[in-house]
Every structure is written in structure tokens, then in C-alpha cells.
A = this chain, B = another copy of it.
Amino acid sequence: MEKVLVLLTFLGSVIALLFALLTAKKVLKFEEGTPLMQKISASIREGANAYLKRQYTIVAIFFACMFVVLCIMAATGLLTWFVPFAFVTGGFFSGLSGFIGMRIATKANCRTANACRSSLNRGLRVAFSAGSVMGFTVVGLGLLDISIWFTLLKFVFKLDPSAITSAMLTFGMGASSMALFARVGGGIYTKAADVGADLVGKVEAGIPEDDPRNPAVIADNVGDNVGDVAGMGADLYESYVGSIISASALGVAAFGGELKAMALPMIMAALGILASIIGTFFVRTGESTDQRTLLSALRRGTNLSALIIAIAAFFLVRGVLGTEYTGIYFAILAGLVAGVLIGASTEYFTSDTYKPTQGLADTALTGSATIMIGGLGLGMLSTILPIVIVAVCILVAYYVSGGAASTSMGLYGIALAAVGMLATLGITLATDAYGPVADNAGGIAEMAGLEPEVRERTDALDSLGNTTAATGKGFAIGSAALTALALIASYIEKVQEVGAAVTFNDFSVMTPVVLVGLFIGACLPFVFAALTMQSVGRAAQSVVVEVRRQFKEIVGLMDGKADADYARCVDLCTKASLHEMILPTVVGIVTPIVVGMILGYKGVVGMLAGATVSGFLLAIFMANSGGAWDNAKKYIESGVHGGKGSDAHKAAVVGDTVGDPFKDTSGPAINILIKLLSMVSIVFAALVVNFSIIK
């Protein structure tokens, strides 16, 4: 039985990777287009590769240091010897997911542009296929890493289930660390380039987006790849793996060490891969650039996958756990539904087909100050629905799983809700990751001077990408909150394991260390958001200065008679973002250790709860403010309130520029942060329990 379960998981991961490989081959068969297009694409690819190479070098140094620290701790008996190695593999696979996704994205951009020359559907197929490669690589590698470690620990080292999940949680820490670096570094890169390009190019020089005269234009397109592709890949690898292993860990506790509860989340994931693959075959469209038609083309695929999972999970739960545990199925279903609803709420607040964003566009009429106030207010207000959805999901998942009788069972239910939410990640990520490919394709079409209808088609695809990105963010944020809660529960179990006599009921908010932990934890996402925003600000300012310099010093640039020095901007962004990514990430890793050593493990639980709650709010606030500003600008560009070039449009550009780091740097990074804090706490639990100042 055990071996069958493991085999199923292995099979799932192999199928995903094979599917990704076949899809990649399919993408590469498409034509690259004109020599100029190839040249532009090559420049983008080069810049992106150069960035990733340097990023991975820095990250490798960090991982080497952590490896040594973990080895020392293992030598002193505070950790098992599996931990340092698990940590490294988690980081490796997370980075690899991002790398592969980016490789294919940077090859698909010109192919998408070229395909759009013949038809919209063709363009969609290429871009979506590139996104699929990314989606299935992430889930495939995630499940592979889990299967390998599980096999190793179970059948080679013959550990008991709780020791297995304990070691596996550490590769979660590796994945989270890597993801944070990738998200923060990539996020700073992409937004520094974007803001820099927009502020000087669009606002000061008055040239269109992606105009080849803009010296930051290549950097801007590189940014889409290193931030929105490589960064997002590493990020979602972490989310996916984190949700599965935290559920497995809680399953062990809930079922008194029985393997089946531990295996359920893994098999759910494998099942999700099959459902996602089936879904991809239903994504196709006609020639209408109407957003609703396009959206329904993508939705057909994701909805079908979700439906398959919703039905199959019922039988899976009863088959694996037994019919007396049917309640747990409803926990998974609650997660699946909650993910969809949060996505819908995000769409409502950020799409220009609904009132909030249209109202935001109105505030642009009285200038940039009022659109700022409006957007910030909109983002803050938009936290209500997701909070209520998650609250209901937590209560449902907890009680249907039997939480009233056993807290462990209830927490297992919450963890499974997160797994349910992410089960169809293969296809949801595909619909999400295709966006930046289309965006890049548009850039190439513009720079290569292709026919206007090509740009129209890529714009239609890109615009759709904004909507799917909003939905994707809903899943990412929702699953982050649930997974973080599951990880807090895992932390408490870990604390028990290393010798503290404590139960889930011993963390009252009126205990001063828990309370103080809550305050400190809630502060962390604010600090983290501040650091990353300021990084973007600083990096963007340096780009602005450089772009202004080139416009001034390169004779004939504005007339198209001389070439801009793209490489300098690319290099500048690379250096600035790598330099800026270090502090926020280190803060995320060091804080839980410091807090733990001072306040003890109860303080840590308070901190984790505080960070989860405030991080969830801040992530939604920032994502939705940013999304709404972006779309309010697009709405005005569509001709409302005077259209492009009007005063309202200028005000909206300011809003969009502020929204950029909100939605693409700080917001998404907070999701990773709240899980990383728990992972680090788990790994350092023994240290804290034994040596903290306050016990």
C-alpha cells in the first residue's frame, strides 16, 4: 500500500515533467520571426540570463553559509543530519523551476509575436504553451523533490513518519529562502526598470511604451522575465511544496503516525496534475480580441480542471483515508471554493469592467493626489471580502474535519484546504505565467516595427494576462494564509517534539509574550513592504538618472538616428536589484531566530500569527491597489476622461507607477515571507526551546 502511494506521487511528477518537456518542444517548433525580432529577443534573453547567473551566485553563497550553520547545529544535536541537505535541495529545485520557466519564456516571446502576425489563436497557443511549461515544471519538480525525499527517508533510512515530515519541512525552508530572493530581486529589477522607463520615457519625453528609443526598454522587458516569470516560478514552487508538506506533517500528528494521512496531500497533488493537463487541452480561442471571449477560453480550461478535482477528491479521500473521513473532503472543497472566490473578489476590485476601478478612474479627474487617495482606500477596503472568505474557509475546514473533537484533525483540515486551493496549480499557473510572455511579445512587436494589428493582438493577450494574474494572486495569497496557519501548527508540534510540554491551547493572546509576539509579527510585513518599496524607489531613481543622461548625451537618439545604450540600463538594474534584495531577505530569516531567542517559543507563535494576519491584509491591500491603478490607467487609455495624453491620464500614470512596486514587488513577497518565518522557526525550534532568554 505505502509503495503504491509513493509510486502514484512519483508518477504524477514524471507526467508533469514529461508534459512540460513535450510542450516546450512544441513551443520551440514555432518560427522566431524576422532577424530583428530574433535580435531583440536575444538581447532580452541575454540580459535575463546574465541577471539570473549573478543572482544564483549570490544566493549560492547564502546557501553555503546556511548549510554550514545547519551542519554545526546538526553536529551539536539540535538538528538531524538530513536537514542541511534537505534545505539545499529545496532551494535548488525552487531556483530550477524559475530558471526553466524563464528559459522557455525568453524563447517564446518572439515566437508569440510572430504567431500573432498570422492569428490571435496561434499567438495564444504559443504564449499559453510557454506558460504551461512553467506551470508543469513547477508542480513536477515540486512533487519530484517530495517523492525523492520521502522515498529516501522512508525506505532507505527507515525513519518514522514524524521524523520524515520534520526533515521534509526543512526543504520547505530552502524553497522559501530561494523564493524570497527570487521574488524580491526579480521584483525590484522589473519595477525599477518599468518605473524608470515610464517616468522618463512616457512622462518626460512623451514617447510610447516599448519605444526602441527608450534606453530602458530592454531592461523593462528583461524585468518581465526575471520578475514575473523566474520570480513567480520560485514563489509558487514554494507555495505548492509548502502546502503539501505542512499538510503531510499535520496528517502524521492527526492520525497518530499513520502513513495514509501523510500521503493524501501528495496524491491530491498528483491528481491535480492530471486534472490540469486535461484542462490545458480545452484552451483555444477564435479571432475576436474581445476580453470576455478570451477570458472564457482560459476559464474553460481552469474550470474544467477544478471540476475534475472537486469530483475526484471525494473518492480519493474516501479511498485513502476511509469513508468515515468523508468530512475531510469538504475541507478540501472549501479550499478550492475559497481560492476561486478570492480570485473573483480580486477581479471585482481590480478589473475595469466593474465599479471600483471605474470609480478610481473618475478620481483621476481631480489630479494625482485624489487618485492616490482613492487607490489606497480601494485597496484597504478590498480586504474585507478575502478576510471573510478565509475566515469561513478556516471554520468550515476545521469543523468538518473533526476539529471539535480533535484540534489536530481540525488543523489537518485547514492544511488540506490549502492543498485543495493549489491542486490545479499546473493550469492556473499556466494562465498566469503566459501574461509576461505576451507582454514581451508586445514589446518585441513594437520595437521590431511590426504591423499595428500584431500589437493589437499581443495587447489583447497582455491585458487578459492582467486579469488572470489577479486571479492567480488570489490563489497565492489565500493559500499562503492557510499554509502559514498549518505551519504554525507544525511549529507547535515541533516544539513538543523537542521537549516543551505544551498544547495547542497554551498560546492565549493575553499571555504577554504571545501578545508582544503578535505586535512584532504584525509589524514585520510592514517593515518588509517598506524595505522592498524603498529598494524599488532607489533602484528606479538610478535608472531615471541614467535614462535622462542618455537622452541628453546621445546625439540623435530622439530622432532614431542613434542607438540607445541598452546594456548599461540592464547592467544598472541587475546591480541595483541584487544589492537591494539582500537586506529584506536576511530580515525575514534572522528575525524569527532573534525573536525566539528573546521571547521563547510562545513569543514565536505570537509572532507567526501576527505576521500571517497582517501579512495577509497587507498583501491583498497592496495587490489590489496596484491592480486597480494599473487598470484605471488602461481604462482611461481606452478613451475615457480624455484618453491618452489628457490630465486624467497623467494622474493615472502616477497611480500606476506607485502601484507597480505595490502589486509586483512588495505584495507577492509578503506571501513568501509569512511562510518563511514559520519554516525558519521550525528549523531553529530546538535552539529556541533550549536556550531562549524567556522560557
CB distance from A687 to the nearest CB of B (A): 21
Mark each residue of chain A from 364 to 385: 1 if its CB lies under 8 Å from any CB of chain B, else 0. 0011111011101111110110
Candidates B384, B398, B514, B529; contact of A509 at CB < 8 Å:
B514
Residues of B within 8 A of A391 (CB): 516, 519-520
Residues of B within 8 A of A520 (CB): 387-388, 391
A370, closest chain B residue (CB): B537
Complex formed: what's the CA distance from A653 to B368 in Å? 10
Please determine whether A533 and B380 come into contact, CB atoms closer than 8 angstroms: yes
Query: For chain A, what secondary structure do more than half of its interface residues adopt (helix, strand, loop), or is it mixed?
Result: helix
CB distance from A558 to the nearest CB of B (A): 20
Residues of B within 8 A of A515 (CB): 394, 485, 609
Candidates B369, B384, B410, B533; contact of A523 at CB < 8 Å:
B384
CB distance from A174 to the nearest CB of B (A): 26
Residues of B within 8 A of A416 (CB): none
CB distance from A613 to the nearest CB of B (A): 5
Please determine whether B509 and A606 come into contact, CB atoms closer than 8 angstroms: yes
A526, closest chain B residue (CB): B380
Residues of B within 8 A of A379 (CB): 530
Please determine whether B390 and A519 come into contact, CB atoms closer than 8 angstroms: yes
Complex formed: what's the CA distance from A506 to B203 in Å? 57
Candidates B203, B374, B381; contact of A527 at CB < 8 Å:
B381
Please determine whether B368 and A530 come into contact, CB atoms closer than 8 angstroms: no
Instruction: Tell yes or no: A661 within 8 A of B by CB.
Output: yes
CB distance from A203 to the nearest CB of B (A): 7
Instruction: Tell yes or no: A492 within 8 A of B by CB.
Output: yes
Residues of B within 8 A of A621 (CB): 526
A380, closest chain B residue (CB): B530
Mark each residue of chain A from 476 to 503: 1 if its CB lies under 8 Å from any CB of chain B, else 0. 0000000001001100100000000000
Please determine whether A516 and B374 come into contact, CB atoms closer than 8 angstroms: no
Please determine whether B505 and A369 come into contact, CB atoms closer than 8 angstroms: no
Complex formed: what's the CA distance from A370 to B537 in Å? 6
**Given the interface contacts A522-B522, A527-B383, does A373 sit within 8 Å of B512 by beta carbon?**
no
**Given the interface contacts A372-B372, A372-B658, does A510 sit within 8 Å of B533 by beta carbon?**
no
Mark each residue of chain A from 406 to 428: 1 if its CB lies under 8 Å from any CB of chain B, else 0. 01001100000000000000000
Residues of B within 8 A of A378 (CB): 530, 534
Residues of B within 8 A of A534 (CB): 373-374, 377-378, 381
Complex formed: what's the CA distance from A504 to B368 in Å? 49
Residues of B within 8 A of A510 (CB): 407, 411, 488-489, 492, 504-505, 507, 605
Please determine whether A369 and B658 come into contact, CB atoms closer than 8 angstroms: yes
Please determine whether A609 and B506 come into contact, CB atoms closer than 8 angstroms: no
Instruction: Tell yes or no: A291 within 8 A of B by CB.
Output: no
Instruction: Tell yes or no: A288 within 8 A of B by CB.
Output: no
Please determine whether B368 and A654 come into contact, CB atoms closer than 8 angstroms: yes
- Please provide the chain A residues from 318 to 371 with a CB less than 8 Å away from any CB of chain B in the complex: 363, 366-370
Residues of B within 8 A of A370 (CB): 195, 199, 537, 540-541
Residues of B within 8 A of A407 (CB): 510
A195, closest chain B residue (CB): B369
Residues of B within 8 A of A512 (CB): 394-395, 398-399, 403, 410
Instruction: Tell yes or no: A544 within 8 A of B by CB.
Output: yes
Complex formed: what's the CA distance from A383 to B394 in Å? 29
Instruction: Tell yes or no: A296 within 8 A of B by CB.
Output: no
Residues of B within 8 A of A519 (CB): 387, 390-391, 394, 613, 616
Complex formed: what's the CA distance from A610 to B514 in Å? 13
Mark each residue of chain A from 179 to 209: 1 if its CB lies under 8 Å from any CB of chain B, else 0. 0000000000000000100010001000000
Instruction: Tell yes or no: A511 within 8 A of B by CB.
Output: yes
Candidates B203, B383, B504; contact of A508 at CB < 8 Å:
B504
Candidates B509, B516, B654; contact of A395 at CB < 8 Å:
B516
Mark each residue of chain A from 8 to 25: 1 if its CB lies under 8 Å from any CB of chain B, else 0. 000000000000000000
Please determine whether A533 and B383 come into contact, CB atoms closer than 8 angstroms: no
A359, closest chain B residue (CB): B534
Given contacts A199-B366, A388-B520, A391-B519, 8 further A-B contacts (CB under 8 A): A369-B654, A370-B541, A372-B658, A373-B533, A377-B529, A383-B527, A523-B617, A526-B617
* 27 A–B contacts from the bound complex (CB under 8 Å): A363-B541, A366-B540, A366-B541, A367-B654, A370-B541, A372-B372, A373-B658, A377-B531, A378-B530, A380-B526, A380-B527, A380-B529, A380-B530, A383-B523, A384-B527, A387-B522, A390-B519, A391-B516, A394-B512, A488-B509, A488-B510, A504-B508, A505-B505, A508-B509, A518-B613, A519-B616, A522-B613
